[in-house]
Structure 1
Amino acid sequence: MHGPVVPGWLLVALCAATGSYCLLRMRSGSPSARSAAGGEAVMGFGMAAMAVPAAFVSPPPWILTAYAVVFGGAALRALWLARGGAHHLHHAVGSLAMVYMALAMEPGAGGAGHAGHTAGGVPLLTGVLLLYNAGYVLSAGVRLLPVAAAGAQGGAVAWGARPELAMACRLSMGIAMLAMLVTV
């Protein structure tokens, strides 16, 4: 990822922690909730891997193509699962945004790659993705408030089944997506 090293590592830590909690969420809940948590875990760990600062390690030339293939597959899976719920459409948009960022960072593919540290990508598409994710972050933040208040009144709930933590993970990944898109 382009940009300063310290914020890059903070983004890596945030995304890895979110992916780890999503793995924990896969142990409880309904099959559809476990499936959504699995998609979010892939997104969290993938975002963590892509956010590693370029100043720290120079990725092998094939890694950005691998990211595009993995997230392209995740997007197709999310589109297939979107028949049963709108949240999977968000997963599809997020996965396609990751494909876009991987291709924009690809040297010689219109993007600047890690070596140049200059912006690449299509400004209109980047702007649309930024607006979408900003809207998602705002709506997730608003939805988090009533869930936290309702969770405080209930009894003991397992860590993997806490709705306010799941929403907080979605919010943090949305913020991380915004931070990554700004660097494109």
Structure 2
Amino acid sequence: MHGPVSSGWLLVALCAATGAYCLLRMRSRVVEQRRAAGGEALMGFGMAVMAVPAAVFTLPGWVWTALAVVFGGAGLHALWAAARTGAGHLHHLIGAGAMVYMAVAMAAPAGHGHGHGGSGTPLLTGTLLLYFVAYVLVTGVRLVPVATMPGVAEGAGWGDRPELARACRLSMGIAMVAMLLAV
């Protein structure tokens, strides 16, 4: 990623910690929460890899291709799930598409823009930025009520806490905005 090294490493740490927490959420008793947590863990770790500061370590070119393929597959899975169960998976589809877009932009030959390689299309970058800024704002508002969440049993496991899942999604949304600004 292009930018100060310290903020790049903070972004790596945030994304990796979020991915690790999402792995813990995969122990939920609810099947749908486990599936969502798995996709979010993949997203968190993928974003951590993409956020490694270019000034410190330049990732090999094959990493960008591998990330594009992995998130292309995740996007196809989200598309299939959205077609099967409804709009709940559209955010994962957009997130996977954004990851493919950033991987392709970063794999472009050096000297054609920011980051590790080339820059993205301004219209697509702007559209994705608008979506993720709106997503962050809406998700942040949903975290504001601190009262006990209805339907959350006392002693619920870490994977069954909806407010922690929202905080996880919020942190990844914020990281996505930061990464899109660097494309």
**TM-score (ref. length: structure 2):** 0.91
Q: How many residues align?
A: 181
Aligned CA-pair RMSD? 2.1
How far apart in 2 are the matches of 1:18 and 1:108? 30
Q: Are 1:8 and 2:8 matched, yes or no?
A: yes
- State the Cα distance separating 1:154 from its structure 2 match: 5.9
- 2-side partners of 1:160 and 1:101: how far apart? 29
Residue 73 of structure 1: aligned partner: 73
The equivalent residue for 1:26 is 26
Contact 1:103 1:109 (8 Å CA) reproduced: no
- Is 1:158 the equivalent of 2:154? no
Partner of 1:133: 132
Name the aligned partner's letter for residue 41 of structure 2. Answer: A
> Where does structure 1 lack aligned partners over 5 or more consecutive residues?
none
When the two structures are superposed, what TM-score results if normalisation uses the length of structure 1? 0.91
* 1:109 CA drift (Å): 8.9
Please state if 1:37 is matched with 2:37.
Answer: yes
Cα displacement (A) at 1:137? 0.4
Match of 1:149, SS?
Answer: coil
CA contact (8 A) 1:110 1:120 kept: no
What is the percentage of aligned positions where both structures have the same residue? 66
Contact 1:106/1:113 (8 A) holds in 2: no
The 3-state SS of whatever aligns with 1:52 is: coil
Deviation (angstroms), 1:14 = 0.5
Could you tell me which amino acid in structure 1 is paired with residue 58 of structure 2? S
Gaps of 5+ in 2: none
Residue by residue over 1:128-152, the C-alpha shift from the partner in whole angstroms, topping out at 9 and shown as x without a partner, is 0000000100110111123x32249
Contact 1:104 1:113 in 2 (8 A): no
Q: Distance in 2 between the 1:129 and 1:109 partners?
A: 23
Aligned to 1:90: 91
Residue 55 of structure 1, CA deviation: 1.1
Q: Structure 2 CA distance, aligned partners of 1:111 and 1:169? A: 33
